[in-house]
Structure 1
């Protein structure tokens, strides 16, 4: 273990000198995406359970936190060349071509702050930041091999008491040595980015016998001069019709970390449009930049307006750019209600025969009710996709509204189990749930020239 610590301490100075190293090393402009698509598909094919917490967030910053064990491939090793400290950082953002380009173009801000408590050393390795997004890279080290981190329970900015946190954390195996991950911060429109991010981290379990719950605190410097004014704006302002459903694409803003496109849906549309299957930006060379699929994919402005987020091509500077798609997941608005008779444990209404009610149970931990659904779907377009079936709001027969704050999904390519947690209440049956995403579609080519 001491050898491991020595190695990591040697790597931190290399991260600090990353700028000079990158100028001397030829980094390819693109890593083989097909290989990593296969890896992601393989992981999804294994049976697993994914938990999500649902809530309406209105605070100034939204934090999305993800943690991952470090894994390397020959392709990643070749990509980062002779910079050992950069290897895990590139691995963590390998799902996002735009962030890879940001590192390639010297956009990383090295930090190298560390703090050790209760045998756990946490290091803030660096950040990538602009006016739209801040990505914080961190490392956890199990210094004596005795500790077990189960969950990153708390992340907050102490200077902003209204910070909302969207948790997507996963337990880690026993006897771990090193964990590295990222934290995404999304300032609201018009919110200023501070000179320092004063952040607090806490884990819900460090050792089996731990009696205290230590917190790690950092003041992370932000070099705002590095990204000041780095954005480009385009007015698309074009309306398309797909199977009679009208969609208007408004302004597009290009930042180094992501692209934002405003989308409006005609209120008179007969269908609720959930998500675009293959919406992408494509340049004159055929290179594509897809919507973000690991992190915050979009934000709702109103019932019929939203902002979609794409991987950024800011550092590519394409001569021509097109917005393209061919299918959209959608459903007739009248079919979105799913009514559950909780007394007879049966569905009174549902979109189609793919969705069934498997069981209604009770959580052993807090007494919450659990609605267990099953969905069978063999459409190739939906392979390796887990659907967030329902909105968080549901109603009972009296018309009273409630909020579900947790759901879980598990399954394989063709069959999924979805658990929807409901509060312990004296409901008037039936309950009404509202479809948020479903494998029904409309098709039609969208091909808009942006520049």
Structure 2
């Protein structure tokens, strides 16, 4: 019996009560609408099930892709055009030097561990050369004692020393701890297990000793406490360092080229390929009329058009401004391209005769300055119950014409001497930017100064030399490693 007959049977009227003729058309329309709704509901439920299955499959695929991306630059390149995965791919392959090192087995695998108070620290691997050290680690904590745990950073020691005193620490800079997995993906943590990597960079090139000790602190959130606290004690891990693996032959590429940009000569000396960085040495000609403070837009491209990113490294320099310069890039040590081209176009420079400014403390004015975009807003005497009286000088600067590395301070001043030849000692300063105006406040040690004061400009973000130039880096005799 079809749906209409069922309705008719259920609606047989008692006696001779008649049903209006149009009722049949209404009923048939209602049945048709009901069928449509049932089909639509079935489709929606099917779509919901497919969405749930798809989400689960996507999570599995995503986890697999992350591992594959790390191992396959080709796969990473293929996926990078997909909007949802592009950011993830970029985070995973952010450090090409470390990625290439891992792909070419430039990793020392270890299982050195230390356990204390329910938390275990394991060093899983290490990558090192003369400039950088990368540690891969795992932290596991007792879930009956802690809700969470976090590594506080590493300190390096020579394991040959019997005592771990501060003066035995290796002179490392920075203690940046980064997750192995991209932030927000929740893939660095599985229950009570956390994986991560810590990177350290040297001030000057040096080698780790044959055996080292790593000392780490921890913080954790105890069960029922509701907040994280620093833990007492130290996690000390001792491990060997594979000298043969990490400190082999380095590729030195002589450049010996000179370019002239805006009338200023720059001599490019050589590039040195380390496993984790490329070190490029050059110098500004001492006979230049202008002092070059820096170049803003370095680019290093290979023959395929791939760009190797600049790596920020802090180095000790004998002077604040030096003609001898070094820059660093991601390393192609393990996959040497057929050609490398270094290029730039924006140079921060100023005539050497204009590098000094003078401040009159009495009239509170600038007696000499290379630009009217630098202003002296105030000269105040600051008093204190605990410290000697001091001068506080407030400078303001307009926004530079072009982007500058020192966005907060287009001009950086260094205290020089007063009118009597005494060196100006200063106790600190602060800077900030508001509505395109930079503000710099500097305070002297005391008021025992003879006006006027002289300051030297050590960086200048106005009136840049804008002129593109290129330098070809010879690669003859350097093959794939």
The alignment's TM-score, normalised by the length of structure 2, stands at 0.59
Q: Please say if residues 392 and 405 of structure 1, whose CA atoms lie closer than 8 Å, have aligned partners that are also in contact.
A: no
1:26 to 54, 72, 92: 72
Larger radius of gyration: 2
What does 1:240-279 correspond to in 2, within 5 Å?
240-279=259-298
1:296 to 314, 333, 350: 314
- The CA distance in 1 between the partners of 2:303 and 2:471, in whole Å, is 13
**Structure 1: gaps spanning 5 or more residues:** 1-20, 36-72, 80-89, 171-176
- The CA distance in 2 between the partners of 1:326 and 1:433, in whole Å, is 29
Q: Which residue of 2 aligns with 1:185?
A: 201
Deviation at 1:235, TM superposition (A): 0.8
Residues 215, 31 of structure 1: alpha-carbon distance in 2 compared, 3 angstrom cutoff: farther
Deviation at 1:303, TM superposition (A): 3.6
Q: Which residue of 2 aligns with 1:102?
A: 101
Q: Please say if residues 410 and 438 of structure 2, whose CA atoms lie closer than 8 Å, have aligned partners that are also in contact.
A: no
What does 1:203-214 correspond to in 2, within 5 Å?
none
Residues 225, 422 of structure 1: alpha-carbon distance in 2 compared, 3 angstrom cutoff: farther
3-state SS of 1:226 partner: helix
Q: Please say if residues 233 and 252 of structure 1, whose CA atoms lie closer than 8 Å, have aligned partners that are also in contact.
A: yes
Deviation at 1:409, TM superposition (A): 4.0
Residues 165, 222 of structure 1: alpha-carbon distance in 2 compared, 3 angstrom cutoff: closer
Which digits, 9 at most, give the CA deviation of each residue in 1:70-103, with x for residues without a partner?
xxx9546457xxxxxxxxxx66x93x44344334
Q: Please say if residues 196 and 219 of structure 1, whose CA atoms lie closer than 8 Å, have aligned partners that are also in contact.
A: yes
Deviation at 1:449, TM superposition (A): 1.8
2:395 is aligned with 1:376? no
Deviation at 1:277, TM superposition (A): 1.7
- The CA distance in 2 between the partners of 1:377 and 1:407, in whole Å, is 20
Which digits, 9 at most, give the CA deviation of each residue in 1:377-400, with x for residues without a partner?
153433884448436663333323
- The CA distance in 1 between the partners of 2:368 and 2:457, in whole Å, is 12
- Which one has the bigger helix percentage? 2
3-state SS of 1:185 partner: strand
Deviation at 1:243, TM superposition (A): 1.5
Q: Which residue of 2 aligns with 1:237?
A: 256
What does 1:6-21 correspond to in 2, within 5 Å?
none
- The CA distance in 2 between the partners of 1:211 and 1:438, in whole Å, is 43
Q: Please say if residues 390 and 433 of structure 1, whose CA atoms lie closer than 8 Å, have aligned partners that are also in contact.
A: no
Deviation at 1:276, TM superposition (A): 1.2
Deviation at 1:306, TM superposition (A): 2.3
Residues 255, 30 of structure 1: alpha-carbon distance in 2 compared, 3 angstrom cutoff: farther
Q: Which residue of 2 aligns with 1:328?
A: 347
Q: Which residue of 1 aligns with 2:10?
A: none
Bigger relative contact order, structure 1 or 2 (CA pairs below 8 A, ≥6 apart):
1
The alignment's TM-score, normalised by the length of structure 1, stands at 0.63
Deviation at 1:355, TM superposition (A): 2.4
Please provide the CA RMSD for this pair: 5.0
- The CA distance in 2 between the partners of 1:309 and 1:380, in whole Å, is 23
**Structure 2: gaps spanning 5 or more residues:** 1-66, 162-166, 178-188, 222-226, 475-481
3-state SS of 2:458 partner: coil
Residues 126, 392 of structure 1: alpha-carbon distance in 2 compared, 3 angstrom cutoff: farther
- The CA distance in 2 between the partners of 1:430 and 1:118, in whole Å, is 62
- The CA distance in 2 between the partners of 1:315 and 1:215, in whole Å, is 37
Moved more, 399-408 or 441-450: 399-408
Residues 251, 121 of structure 1: alpha-carbon distance in 2 compared, 3 angstrom cutoff: same
3-state SS of 1:401 partner: coil
How many residues end up aligned between the 2 structures?
Answer: 370
1:447 to 444, 467, 470: 470
- The CA distance in 1 between the partners of 2:447 and 2:155, in whole Å, is 31
Residues 267, 181 of structure 1: alpha-carbon distance in 2 compared, 3 angstrom cutoff: same
What does 1:14-413 correspond to in 2, within 5 Å?
25-28=71-74, 74-75=85-86, 77-78=88-89, 94=94, 96-109=95-108, 126-136=125-135, 157=157, 161=168, 182-186=198-202, 188-189=204-205, 191-199=206-214, 217-219=236-238, 221-292=240-311, 294-296=312-314, 303-342=322-361, 344-359=363-378, 371-377=393-399, 379-382=401-404, 385-387=407-409, 389-390=411-412, 394-402=416-424, 407-411=429-433
Residues 401, 271 of structure 1: alpha-carbon distance in 2 compared, 3 angstrom cutoff: same
